[in-house]
Amino acid sequence: MARPVLDAYWTEVVSIIEGGLKPDPQRVSAFATHLAERLEQEGEDRLAQRIRRLTERASLPAGATYKAGSLFTDVEAQLNLVEVREPTDLAPYPVLPDDTDTELHRFVELQRRVTDLERRGILPPSTLLLHGAPGCGKTMAAEAVAYDLQLPLLTIRLEAVMASYLGSSAKNLRRLFDGAQTQPSVLFLDEFDAVGKMRDDPQEIGEIKRLVSSLLQNLDRTKGHLLVIAATNHAHLLDKALWRRFDVVLHFPMPNAQLAEIIISRNLPQSSVDAKTIKALGLLANGLSGAAISQAVARALQNSILLPETAFTLLLTKEIVRQRLGGEDRIPNEHDVKSLVTAIHQTVDGHLSMRQIAQLIGCSPQNVHRILSSIKEPNNADAR
């Protein structure tokens, strides 16, 4: 910076340095804003914009939190519009296919490189749409992104936005976006199809159509320091115009057998189950959601305390089968080997060998063979 220019902004520069050394974030922000205003007056709009974005994205002061005040409240119904989660508790990323995981981490990394991007006149992505089957990690991903960036996660409360007062929904949505943009944050719109349904659906009332139009307007005016993540289990219900408002769209598929292995291993104590057994369990869990697999592991760990004499692999196998059967407990006893072998055979459709089934339930492959043969024989007799 040339000496005359430095002299012109000497007060602001020194005050910003002093504020940073104390540290005094409020002083830094105040004088940085004043510096941006003076630069704008001198025609240095691009540099001024960079300074403003830096102050907007600056970390919150220690102890500073969102409060569910008037900006987050439906005044008429007296309902909070969002649930606020500060980035204090660890939030891991979900287990995802490599391409989806890469794109999700790319979105996060670009937020960290916002200064480099803006220096080159490139806008970072600020809106992210996640779609896929229930239990595949969409909410978990939103929590992980917010934690990774150390930003508060503001989760929309649909029952509040979809207020019973006619005409209140669009106003609530505008209030929510206004409140979220007062500080750097991640706004999470869960069950997005409830507020983003197709406007040309003849079954929808005018209130829904007004709400979708309001949502489009609010997404268009979203500033750079607010990240918006939306999640839906029913992507086909979304209004087509909404898809274009999202910079990044990611599909969260059901985990395959390899991802199921990783989910099982992540939820187990280290080295509690050998690799071969994990592989067989992954094949057994293939087709279940990540949430269902995690629940099966949690229940097996709980049952290991209640039933310490029963092999843990057998307990976990039964819980995975239970999830495969829709959560119903059709196997009354872990030691009812025939019922368990039959259930496994029916759910995996031949993807597990007799040796693998025997390994999971703790019996001999010959015993599994005899049980499966006895199942097939009546079927053959019926066919005759």
**DSSP string computed for 143-170:** HHHHHHTT--EEEE-HHHHS-SSTTHHH
Do 226 and 319 fall into the same domain?
no
Domain holding 111, by residue range, is 70-252
Look at residues 218, 252, 286 and tell me which one is the last residue of a structural domain: 252
Q: 224 in a domain, yes or no?
A: yes
Q: 62 in a domain, yes or no?
A: no
AA identity, residue 382: D
AA identity, residue 149: L
Do 272 and 291 fall into the same domain?
yes
The number of domains in the chain is: 3
Do 123 and 242 fall into the same domain?
yes
**Beta strand residue intervals within the chain, DSSP E:** 73-74, 79-80, 82-85, 127-132, 153-156, 185-189, 226-232, 248-252
Residues facing residue 229 across a β-bridge = 128, 188
Residue 339 C-beta-side C-alpha neighbours within 13 Å: 13
Q: Is the pTM of this model over 0.85?
A: no
Residue-wise pLDDT for 181-217, tens only, equals 878 899 999 888 777 665 555 555 566 677 778 888 8
Q: Which residues lie closer than 8 Å to 75 by C-beta, 6 or more apart?
A: none
Do 18 and 97 fall into the same domain?
no
Do 29 and 52 fall into the same domain?
yes
pLDDT band at 107 (very low <50, low <70, confident <90, very high): very high
Do 133 and 153 fall into the same domain?
yes
Taken in order 97, 103, 106, 110, the sign of the CA dihedral is negative
Tokens representing residue 130 in the block: 């996640």
Do 245 and 265 fall into the same domain?
no
Look at residues 11, 28, 57 and tell me which one is the last residue of a structural domain: 57
Do 98 and 32 fall into the same domain?
no
Question: For the domain that residue 92 is a member of, what is the CATH number?
Answer: 3.40.50.300
Residue of higher predicted confidence among 328 and 122: 122
Q: 65 in a domain, yes or no?
A: no
Q: Mean of the per-residue pLDDT values for the chain?
A: 80
Residue-wise pLDDT for 262-320, tens only, equals 999 999 988 789 999 999 999 999 989 999 999 999 999 999 999 999 899 999 999 99
Do 131 and 202 fall into the same domain?
yes
Under DSSP, the state recorded for 254 is P
CB burial string 353-377: b at 16+ within 10 A, e below: ebebbbbbbebeeebbeebbeeeee
